[in-house]
Structures are given as structure tokens and as C-alpha cells.
Amino acid sequence: MHFLFAWRYFKAKKSTNVINIIAWISIVAIIIGTTALILVLSVFNGFEGLVKSLYSSFYTDLRISPASGKIITITPEQLQKLKGLSGIKNYSLVVEEKALVKNGDYQSVIYLKGVDENYRYVSGVADNLVNGEYDLGSEEVPKLILGAGVEGALGIQADRNIFTLKIHLPRKTDTEQFDELNGISNDTIRSSAAFRIQQDFDNKYGITNIGFVKKSLRLGENDYTAVEIALKDPATTNEIKKALKPIFGDAYLVQNKYEQNRSLYAVMNMERWVIYGVLCLILVVAAFNMIGALTMLVLEKQKDISVLHALGGNKKFIQRIFLCEGMLLALLGGGIGMLLALLIAWLQMQFHLIPLAGGSFLIDYFPVKLRLMDFLLVGATVFVIALIASWLPSKKAAAQEFSLRSE
């Protein structure tokens, strides 16, 4: 009943044309705001998915590391139990330490990651080589796979460099006093390939043979810095994580992909809400237009309000009519905006109409990913803003009952 009155008021001709103009301006503003919110959130979803996929190429499903310090001791018995878990696809033992790599006058401080032969099956590094072949060498003749940024910093092309690189690592010592001769390893290594995944990894990582790194650092046979694990089904992450706890105990930290990149996910989540808050200002502007249109409509319909009162309409009935009028404007604007956003997003996904500027990106178009939750969030936002904007004019319309009665 209330929406019927609201619909009739919306369609009816007004004595002053400016009421229609302001009403349509508010609808257009809601359309623009709704479309912009959904599209920007969808593009953000696309970039978020792209970044997460890139990070997933380097970080594994699960990672076991020391709860404190750098080194953990992994016994053969623990590895046997780890291998026996049904959800484990593969695992790799890792020793990671900062190192200084030199090529003549060029040098770069990197995170040197010593890995075993299983590493290519738990990580995406082998699938993201830009030159050379995946070759880690041996303990005696190690080879180094460099991030593309490190490769550039050293001034080489990894697969064609005929000269050996000098590499220095800090050794484990029993004394607190620094010994330059025994505290720093001095070795040579050849580069075999370069990978490009994401700038954070490309600019600081080098991958090599775990035996060489353990020898250089003088670590024990069962000493490592981490165990990186790939799962058969990532959906079982929490179950496998719980199963690992009894095997390794409290001295070991078991982390999933989210926990390994907690700061990244926190920043991305904060950016999403900042973008949402800024774009909501468009809907706030639309709300001011709606207030103006509804206020003028209340003045226009004074006689109708008196007639409704005479027919038995109470204060709440009249107020609901004008609240429904505001909801109708929001429904039209929000509905059209969502459909328009859906169309534009589909066109972008199918035809990549809007390109990304510059040529340094992995893709040359804006990625888009639609999520139902974004539509629900934007719909709820439009509803709440429209309800708040309609409240004041509807209260004024309800109060009009008493002023007309006193006259």
C-alpha cells in the first residue's frame, strides 16, 4: 500500500518541474555511486587475486619454522611421520640466510635459500623462469637461480654468465666475538637461471643447493630453518596443520599462506575499506539530492496529506509513504547501477576494453572479479543511506498532519 502511493507520487506530474529534475538527479547520482563502488571493488578483487596468486607461487601451503631463533632440528623420525600424512603432496627442507653476492664491482645482499630436490614440486619458482634451466648444482659445485631484480643488480644474464660469482655468508660460531676469517664464508658460485614472480621476491632472493648452504654455515646434519609443504588439497590446510602439531610440538611454528603473509593481507583489507569509504561519498552527495527532492515533494503534496488524514491515515502511515518514496528512488538507482556495473565488468572480462598503462605489468588490462558479497554490501549501503536521507522529509510530512488540522 505504501509503495503504491510512493509509485503514484513518483510518476505523477508535479506543479514545479524542478522536483522531477532533482529526483532524477538523485537517481543518477545513486546509479553512478553504485556502479563506481561495485566496479572499483571488483577491480580491487582482480588485483587482490592476482597478487595472491603471485605470492602463492613462492609461499607454500604450509611452512614449519622455529617458534624462536633461526634454526630448528628436524629428526628422521619426524620426517617419516610427516611423509605418512595422507594430505601431504610433497615437502622441501630449507636453509635460508642473508648473503652478499659479488660480480666484480657489482654486489647485492640477498636472501639465499638453500633447498633440496623436492623444492621444485612445492614451489612455483621452476615454472616462472625467464631464462636458463632449473639447476641447483651440488654441494661441491653449487649453482644459483636468481630473482630477476638481483640479476639486474649484479649486471649479468644468469644463463649466459661465464664468470663465477663470489658469495659470502655468516657462519655459525661458538664465540660471541666476531672473527673475520672464520665468521664469514668465502665461496664461488655460478648462476644458472633467473625467475620473475613478484618484485618482493625478484629483488632479494636467490635459490641454491641446500648442501652447499649448510656446509657454508657449518650447520648440523638435522639443522634447518624451515620445512615448506605442498598439500594435495589446500582446503585441508587447517586439518593438516592440526595433525602437524603433535609431530613437531610447541617449539615449531606451523603457518598457512595467510599467516606467512599476515601484513600483506592486513594492508590489502585496509585498502579495500578505505576505497569503500571514499566512494561512499558519492552516495552521500546523492542523499542530499534525495532530501531536497523529498522535501519539495512533501510541500507539493500538502493537500494529499490532509485528504489521507481525513480518510483515517495516521502519522506513521503518512511517514511510511514518504519513506517508501525514498526507498523507491534508492531501488531504481541502486538496481540500475548494479546492472550497469555487471555489464561493464562482463565486457572488461571478455574483451579487456580498459588497458593498464605502462608495459611492466604481468597483464596489460585491468583485472576484474565479481563477488556476491560486494553486491550485498553496496546494496545495504544504498539502503541505509537512502533510509537516513528519507527520514527527515518523512517526519516533516507526518508532522504536516497536525499543522493542517490546527488550521
Report the pLDDT value the prediction gives residue 188, as an integer from 0 to 100: 96
195/209 Cα distance (integer angstroms):
16
Please state, for a pLDDT cut of 90, what percent of the chain lies above it: 63
Number of other CB atoms surrounding residue 221 within 10 Å: 7
Quick one: 6 and 67 in the same domain?
A: no
Given pLDDT bands bounded at 50, 70 and 90, which one contains residue 314?
confident
Quick one: 315 and 379 in the same domain?
A: yes
Domain count, the chain: 2
Quick one: 167 and 248 in the same domain?
A: yes
Quick one: 41 and 122 in the same domain?
A: no
Quick one: 51 and 131 in the same domain?
A: no
Mean pLDDT of 322-351: 94
pTM as predicted: 0.79
Give the pLDDT confidence of 98-134 residue by residue, as tens digits: 999 999 999 999 999 999 999 999 999 999 999 999 9
Quick one: 100 and 45 in the same domain?
A: no
Give the pLDDT confidence of 204-231 residue by residue, as tens digits: 999 999 999 999 999 999 999 999 999 9
> Per the structure block, which three cell numbers stand in for 402?
497536525
Where a domain ends, among 208, 240, 257?
257
Quick one: 358 and 249 in the same domain?
A: no
Where a domain ends, among 231, 257, 283?
257
Report the pLDDT value the prediction gives residue 392, as an integer from 0 to 100: 84
Written in H, E and C, the secondary structure of the chain is: CHHHHHHHHHHCCCCCHHHHHHHHHHHHHHHHHHHHHHHHHHHHHHHHHHHHHHHHCCCCCEEEEECCCCCEECCHHHHHHHHHCCCEEEEEEEEEEEEEEEECCEEEEEEEEEECCCHHHHCCHHHHEEEECCCCECCCCEEEEEEHHHHHHCCCCCCCCCCCEEEEEECCCCCCCCCHHHHEEEEEEEEEEEECCCHHHHCCEEEEEHHHHHHHHCCCCCEECEEEEEECCHHHHHHHHHHHHHHHCCCEEEEEHHHHCHHHHHHHHHHHHHHHHHHHHHHHHHHHHHHHHHHHHHHHCHHHHHHHHHCCCCHHHHHHHHHHHHHHHHHHHHHHHHHHHHHHHHHHHHHCCCECCCCCCCCCECCCCCCHHHHHHHHHHHHHHHHHHHHHHHHHHHHHHHHHHHC
Quick one: 86 and 212 in the same domain?
A: yes
Where a domain ends, among 203, 228, 257?
257
Number of other CB atoms surrounding residue 89 within 10 Å: 14
Give the pLDDT confidence of 146-165 residue by residue, as tens digits: 999 999 999 999 999 999 99
Quick one: 163 and 195 in the same domain?
A: yes
Quick one: 98 and 242 in the same domain?
A: yes
Task: Give the highest mean pLDDT range of 3-17, 93-107, 344-358.
Answer: 93-107
Q: Across-strand partners of 247?
A: none
Quick one: 170 and 121 in the same domain?
A: yes
Asked if residue 39 lies in contact with residue 357, where contact means CB atoms within 8 angstroms, the answer is no
Quick one: 119 and 244 in the same domain?
A: yes
Boundaries of domain holding 347 = 2-55+264-406
